[in-house]
Every structure is written in structure tokens, then in C-alpha cells.
Chains A and B, each alone.
Chain A
């Protein structure tokens, strides 16, 4: 069975601080994909990144960066110089093969960025 754990329920930071959101996953599949989604207060889900299990290179996109470590089954997400607009719930998710992309989501981390 697959499982995604986001142990941080809620994080509060002051604007311009760096913040890391943790994600730990469990799977028996050798090939899998990991995703991060953002859910702002308006409620929609926004795709942020996809990473496959064979690519352990870190990725940076502007103020966002992702650290994938297969040895610890973690796929952490760092926001540098956080901004108020980053306030949202962030979900980590794991794909399951066998036809289609049925994601297993973590319970999410609520990030609050204050002035």
C-alpha cells in the first residue's frame, strides 16, 4: 500500500523567511512519480512539480526548490524568501501505476506567511 506523510500540519512564518515543507512517502513500486500541489484559500488545486523516481537531482524554479532523496523516501519543498501570496495548503502526492494517474495525497501542510 502507498502512503504519503506530511507531518507538519501548520507552519507560520514571517515574510521573507525561508520555509521547508516535509514529505515522506512509502511505496513498493520501483518506478513512481511524486507531485506537489498548492491549494490557495480560493480552493483550487494548482500543480507545482512532478518528479520521477529515477531522477534525484534537485530542482529549482524561482523561489521554489525541491529536494528528492530516495534513500530517505523524502521529497521536501522549500520556499525561499516567502511572501504572503505563498499562504496556502500544500499537498504532496504519489502516483500509483496500473493505469491512469491515481494519486495518493498527504494530508497537507497549511502555510501561513505573515507580514
Chain B
């Protein structure tokens, strides 16, 4: 499968635990975006990364959330000390370049449930 791969597909965490969401972009894509979809809502931009660089994190909550896209390996979205309000679907998307007209290719998402 040459598409965007996200894992795990479903993740259950108790309040206070850490959640790590992984995203491998499409082959040849070096730009990654993370979006969050709350129930009954559209997707909200969180962060935009290139390899080893955070380009735009204007949509990320200031605390507990962090993202990285190392030189080797997948992009990671990390949520520390999760709370019930973090329960959502988290989607990763990739593009081959940073052009603002490049269609985002999305993964299947990770559904995070905080109990």
C-alpha cells in the first residue's frame, strides 16, 4: 500500500496517560500535516511539518501536544496527560511539496478514546 499509513487505527488511553500517533507519508512525500476531527465537526488543522522541521504549529494546543517528523521514521503526534476532551479522530496527510494547491493525501486516521 503506497498510501499514507497511520497507526494505530484505534487507541484507548486513560486520563493522564500518553498517546503516540504515528504517520508514514506516501512514498516520495516529505511534507506532513496533522488534523483533528472532533465528533460532528470538520477537520481542524494542527501542525505542518517537513523532515526534521516544524513549519507551522499554529493549530496545536500550547500544552501537552507535540509533533515531530525525524529524518528517519514516521511522523509522531504526541499527547501527554490525555484528557477526555482529547478524544477525537486524528488524521495525517502528506504532500510531495509545500505548494498550497497540492491536494492532501490522507491516511485512515487514528481514533483516540480517553476513558
Contacts and interface: CB of A to CB of B under 8 A. Distances in A.
Contacts of B106: 37, 44-47
A107 B42 CA distance: 4
B69 interface: no
A44 to B, nearest CB: 5
Interface string B45-59: 100100000011001
B107 A91 contact: no
Contacts of B109: 43-45
Nearest to A42: B108
A101 B98 CA distance: 7
Interface residues of B, number: 30
A99 B99 CA distance: 7
Interface residues of A, number: 29
Interface in B85-100: 89, 91, 93, 95, 98-100
Interface in A1-48: 4, 6, 33, 35, 37, 42-47
B37 to A, nearest CB: 9
A63 to B, nearest CB: 20
Nearest to B49: A100
B56 A52 contact: no
A104 B45 contact: yes
Interface of A: 4, 6, 33, 35, 37, 42-47, 50, 52, 91, 93, 95-108
13 contacts: A33-B100, A33-B101, A35-B104, A43-B89, A44-B107, A50-B101, A52-B101, A91-B43, A93-B43, A99-B100, A100-B48, A100-B55, A102-B56
- 8 tightest CB-CB pairs across the interface, nearest first? A105-B42, A45-B106, A100-B48, A33-B101, A105-B43, A107-B42, A44-B108, A47-B103
